[in-house]
Amino acid sequence: MGRTSDAKNKILDAAATLIEQRGYTALGVAEICAAAGVPKGSFYYFFESKQALARTVIDEHWVTQRRQWEQLLGSERNPLQRLRDLFEATEEVQRVGQQKAGVVAGCLFGNLALELSNQAEEIRGRLQQIFEEQISLIEQVVVEAKERGLAGPAVDAREAARSIVAQIEGRVLLAKLLNDPAQLETLWRNCLDLLQVPAQARTTTG
């Protein structure tokens, strides 16, 4: 039993790394098993297909990332500062990844959204849910910011949260393309603009 779940975890870890480095399409089950150090036969004991594996990699990645997002966005700090904490953590993830692998890997969800949306409806559906959850987590903080007069009264909290997620994805794309995590440094300033944060609140929190 211990041995069994061990092999499954090894496959998941190897797949997560390989998908991050090279995408989904380029990978074969044999290669994943070789990287995991498990016999190919055991793959189909745990996963119905390569797509089922990708689905599990996505789910596990979101469990970890959501925990981090909830912690940062649900803290006791000023709402704007919480958003800033999220941006800095996002940049840090890309920096650490770059130090480890030599290149900025980007966002697993964004990568797979562009690679697979039009080819795997199940993956598309799951990624849609995850992005909507991300938007909801940010939306709650924007609502609070508005209540405290830290965001413009005309701002639509849901739409602004969606724009912030889009800005994160766009900036991560540039960070990956340029292999430069510093592309994420402007997220904070972008967020102040997208939330129409009044000048006074910018100086006290910025």
Stretch that binds a copy of itself, among 11-19, 40-48, 77-85, 121-129 (CB under 8 A): 121-129
Q: Which of 34, 27, 183, 15 is nearest to 98 (CA)?
A: 183
Whether 74 contacts 171, CB under 8 Å:
no
Nearer to a copy of itself by Cβ, of 8 and 171: the residue is 171
Binding flag, residue 49, a copy of itself (CB under 8 A): no
What residue type is assigned to position 55 of the chain? R
Binding flag, residue 119, a copy of itself (CB under 8 A): yes
Nearer to a copy of itself by Cβ, of 7 and 134: the residue is 134
- DSSP E strands, the chain: none
**CA–CA gap between residue 69 and residue 28 (Å, rounded):** 32
- Binding pattern for the stretch 136-175 against a copy of itself, x by CB under 8 A and - elsewhere: -----------------------x--xx-xxxxxxx-xx-
Rg, Å, the chain Cα set? 19
Binding flag, residue 196, a copy of itself (CB under 8 A): yes
User: Please, which of residues 73-112 interact with a copy of itself by CB under 8 A?
Assistant: 103-106, 110-111
Whether 169 contacts 110, CB under 8 Å:
yes
Stretch that binds a copy of itself, among 67-75, 76-84, 118-126, 139-147 (CB under 8 A): 118-126
